[in-house]
Each structure stands twice: as structure tokens, then as C-alpha cells.
Amino acid sequence: MQPLSWTDMPQQGSRHPTNMLQLRDQKGGDFETIENIRKSGIDICSQPKEVECRAKDNIYVPLAELGQNVECNPSVGLICRNKDQGIPPICYNYEIRVRCCVDTVCDWSDWISKYYPSVGPEGGDFETIENIRKSGIDICSQPKEVECRAKDNIYVPLAELGQNVECNPSVGLICRNKDQGIPPICYNYEIRVRCIPPICYN
């Protein structure tokens, strides 16, 4: 995940990066809508947190001072209709930029147990973040916190179970049979994770 930032997309007809997206409709106005931009193949989110619009040939003039009747918001993007303008009845050529957010779990997930302990010295219980995500459960790849417990002893703190296990946000839970005492087999564990709040990205 990346810090707060606006889109940084290549402008049409140029290999140099720009912070604005531009898709002009030459018929009835200028329609830089989120839907049209996504249909063009540019990878932006479908529900931006914020949108900024400007006239391509007047980039330092605030939208409100351009004297045109346009719609610019996160719901649609930008819409400018020629028929809504004065004299001459034609829209400027506009471009927009968007700021998106990643939707993540902000609270604790449900308890998860996707891996039943295998037998043998190389066996154990491997409730890792990677294994859980590969199973199809949608959890974040870098949790802020992780809690682990034995599935059949949910009220006993992990430290009091008498087993040597790894439980942290970097990996999830790993218990290896060869690291245990007698009998040399891991309990069946489950974990839950808490992810960071949504953040915006470019």
C-alpha cells in the first residue's frame, strides 16, 4: 500500500507523466467520467474519494473562475455539456485527477483455521497469512495485529499452552511438531487479524 497520493497517469499522446486524465468527447461536450476513463483502459478506482478538475489549457485557473457550467465530483468525474454554456456554446477541454482508497478490514476478523495439523517431524499447523489468503479468505497481506489460540482451548492464553509457536503479524501462526515436547504434535490453532484503516493510493 502506498501513502496518500493522487493519480499519476500518462497523458494521451505523450510518454511524459501527468497528474491528470483526459478523454475528450468532441460531439456534445466533454465527458471525463469515471466510467469513460475506466472503459478506456486506465486503471482507476470506481469510487474515488476525491476528484479534481481543470481546463487543460488553463491549468492555473480555478474551476469556479472559468465561467463554465460543469459537474465535477467523485460520483461521476467531470461532465461538461455544450448546451449548458454561454457564448460560444462549447466546453473547454478538461482533464481530471482522482484519489482512491483501499478498502481494508478495520476491526478484528473472524477466527480462522484453514490448516489442520499434519503429523510427523516436519508437520504441524501453519495458519500463515499467505496460506489463509491463498485459501480465498480476503484478509490484508500486512496485518497490524494478530491473535492466536488453540481451537480446543480458546480460553487458555497462548503462553500457557506449553507449546513453542510463532504468532506475529509478519507470518501469522506457525507451529512445528519437531519444536514440541511430548507428544510431539501441535494443537489445532486458529488466528484472527486486524488490518490498518483504509488509506489512499495513487
Residue 141 pLDDT greater than 70, yes or no: yes
pLDDT-based confidence at residue 168 (cuts at 50, 70, 90): very high
Nearest CA among 146, 145, 140 for reference residue 198: 140
Domain spans, the chain = 9-101, 124-196
pTM for the model stands at 0.48
At 160, list the grid cell.
500457557
Q: Give CA–CA dist 81/73, Å, rounded.
A: 15
What pLDDT, on a 0 to 100 scale, did the predictor assign at position 25?
46
Q: Give CA–CA dist 119/152, Å, rounded.
A: 18
What pLDDT, on a 0 to 100 scale, did the predictor assign at position 137?
86
Query: Chain-wide mean pLDDT for the chain?
Result: 83
At 202, list the grid cell.
495513487
Strand partners for 77? 33, 73
pLDDT-based confidence at residue 142 (cuts at 50, 70, 90): confident
Burial (CB < 10 A; 0-12, 13-18, 19+), residue 21, is buried
